[in-house]
Amino acid sequence: MLAIDIISTLFMLAGAFVMILGPVGLLKFPDFYTRIHAAGKGDTLGQILVIFGCMIYEGFSFITIKLLMVVLFYLFAGPCSTHALMKAAYVTGVPVWKKGDKRM
């Protein structure tokens, strides 16, 4: 039981670390598009790792299947929301930062 606790905690901590990098990138990157990169990409892996930790903690039961469905839903919903934000910004003409420009 202790081993399961340790493994699941490690997974959840790894997920939390990946998700903390998102806001850091949000502050550090220069424009809207690159910030979406930072916010959208790390989140997918972070969420999957946290839910995977929960699955290991729970053991094999029907809650595991429900968590697996949450992961699958996240795999579809994450890219869709990123894509919707990107498209809205691109259509309304948010300027694109190029290398060498000033920060926006």
Residues between 16 and 45 that touch other proteins (CB under 8 A): 18, 21, 24-25, 28-31, 33-34, 36-38, 40-42, 44-45
Of 5 and 13, nearer to other proteins (C-beta) is 13
Tell me the C-alpha distance between 101 and 43, whole Å. Answer: 28
- Identity of residue 40: G
In the numeric block, which tokens belong to residue 35?
């910030």
> Residue 6 or residue 28: which is nearer to other proteins going by CB?
28
Q: Return the closest-CA partner of residue 42 out of 80, 97, 89, 82.
A: 82
- Smallest Cα–Cα separation from 27: which of 38, 16, 14, 43? 38
- Of 4, 7, 13, 79, the residue at the interface with other proteins (CB under 8 A) is 79
Among candidate residues 73, 69, 44, the one with its CA nearest the CA of residue 55:
69
- Element housing 103 (H / E): none
Minimum distance from residue 8 beta carbon to other proteins (Å): 18
According to the binding rule CB under 8 A, does residue 103 interact with other proteins?
Answer: no
**Sites of contact with other proteins (CB under 8 A):** 18, 21, 24-25, 28-31, 33-34, 36-38, 40-42, 44-46, 48, 62, 65-66, 69, 75-76, 78-80, 82-83, 86-87, 90, 96-99
